[in-house]
Amino acid sequence: MIEPEPPAPRENSLLFGHAAAEEVFERAWRSGRLPHAWLLQGPPGIGKATLAYRLARRILAGPDVVDPNDPESAIFRRVAHGSEPDLFVLANEVNRKTKRLRGEIVISQARELTTKLHATAVGRHGRVVVVDTTDDLNHSTVNALLKLIEEPPRGCVLLLVCHAPGRVPRTILSRCVRLRLAPLAPEPMRQALAAAGLAGDELSPALLALAQGSPGRYVAFCDTGFLEHYAALLDALAAARDDSTRLLETADRLNGLGDAGLATELLTLVLRRGTEAAGRGELDPEVMPGEAAKLAALIRGRRLDRWVGLWDKLRDLPGELDHLNLDPRRTFFLALTALAGSAEERLAG
């Protein structure tokens, strides 16, 4: 049986758990004094991009359209099909050389967007730029976006989707109205997954625990066999002290996923779960039998500041692989070696 594909954010007419944030924007829009830059922040996969396109449709439809998010409305169809002339999107694109999705949004995309904004006339109800996501902007693209925010083209509203506001420069944060979106509570989570074709009695408690209120993460975990990859990764790290070849095999496995973001998610999950186990002395719940014991063995005798410090190194991995043209297999091997730790480090800790 083939699982149904959830709709892309621009094609999705449904939003769960974020009515309050949408109402804040709606009131500002009705007031006639709509700020020109908004930051939609929260964990990945909770509906931020879906909300961004809902807000874009509200702006571009104008006051005469009662429900611009009705799938039968003209504005909904144009946005869903990518044919709305007053909507501009800045997002990751496929690298023509590698044929893979870029790990970052590059400066050439920002320049092309700026050119289009200055070359096209303001539409009847203005124009909207959706940035999905600010986390993927490289340094040069951040500067270009800042200039757009500081000197917005006439009639232009920017909607910035953001997973980690702590990584966004203060110069951008200070110029945006921030909508803070929280992970979904259990009932909206179930509703969102049901809308994606995942029935309640078939939901995995382990994946629900890992998804942490993010329907998008849950669906991605299902599609990629995430638990199986996570179990293999833990086993390889546990065995690494006696058999370093396991790390090479695991690096090959991560590289074979063909998705640096997914590989990084697996690596950072070990960090997060290991830190939780060290801080509380237990994991509740375990997402697989023996998880707590394996993590405890992995972090035993290690300084947690070094363990947590790996987070900063790993979070930029997808962008660095693409931008610096690094060898993915070797990069994953080095990350695995750092996670496994050396005997000397354990003794020193």
For range 18-38, the mean pLDDT: 95
Kindly report which listed range (16-25, 106-115, 288-297, 313-322) carries the lowest average pLDDT score: 313-322
Residue 4 confidence (pLDDT) = 55
CATH number at residue 110: 3.40.50.300
pTM of the model: 0.86
Q: Are residues 257 and 155 in the same domain?
A: no
pLDDT tens figures, 307-341: 666 766 776 676 666 655 677 888 888 888 888 87
Residue 27's pLDDT band (cuts 50, 70, 90): very high
CB atoms within 10 A of CB 60: 23
Q: Which tokens in the block code for residue 96?
A: 């023509």
Q: Are 161 and 91 spatial neighbours (Cβ–Cβ below 8 Å)?
A: no
Contacts of 318 (CB under 8 A, 6+ apart): 103, 104, 260, 261, 264
Total domain count for the chain?
2
pLDDT tens figures, 152-202: 988 999 999 999 998 899 999 999 999 999 999 999 999 999 998 887 778
Q: Which SS3 state, helix, strand or coil, does residue 345 take? A: helix
Q: Are residues 142 and 270 in the same domain?
A: no
Tell me if 217 is assigned to some domain: no
Q: Are residues 164 and 229 in the same domain?
A: no
> Which amino acid, one-letter code, is at 21?
A
Could you say which of 125, 150, 182 is where a domain stops?
A: 182
Residue 124 confidence (pLDDT) = 87
Which of 342, 192, 202, 318 lies closest to 266 in space, CA to CA? 318
Tell me if 219 is assigned to some domain: no
Q: Are residues 178 and 233 in the same domain?
A: no
Q: What is the 3-state secondary structure (H, E, C) of 319-339?
A: HHHHHCCCCHHHHHHHHHHHH
Q: Which tokens in the block code for residue 132?
A: 């999905």
Any bridge partners for residue 131, and if so which?
90, 160
Which H or E element spans position 23? helix 19-31
CB atoms within 10 A of CB 34: 17
Contacts of 225 (CB under 8 A, 6+ apart): none
Task: Give dist(CA 109, CA 92) in Å, integer.
Answer: 9
Range of the domain at 257: 225-348
Q: Are residues 174 and 290 in the same domain?
A: no
Q: What is the DSSP string of 226-255?
A: HHHHHHHHHHHHHHTTT-THHHHHHHHHHH
Could you say which of 130, 148, 182 is where a domain stops?
A: 182
Share of the chain above pLDDT 70, in %: 88
Task: Give dist(CA 242, CA 47) in Å, integer.
Answer: 43
Q: What is the largest CA-CA distance in the chain?
A: 70
Task: Please determine, for residue 2, whether its predicted confidence score (pLDDT) is greater than 50.
Answer: no
Residue 312 confidence (pLDDT) = 66
Tell me if 324 is assigned to some domain: yes
Give alpha helix (H) positions in 69-174: 74-81, 107-119, 139-150, 170-173
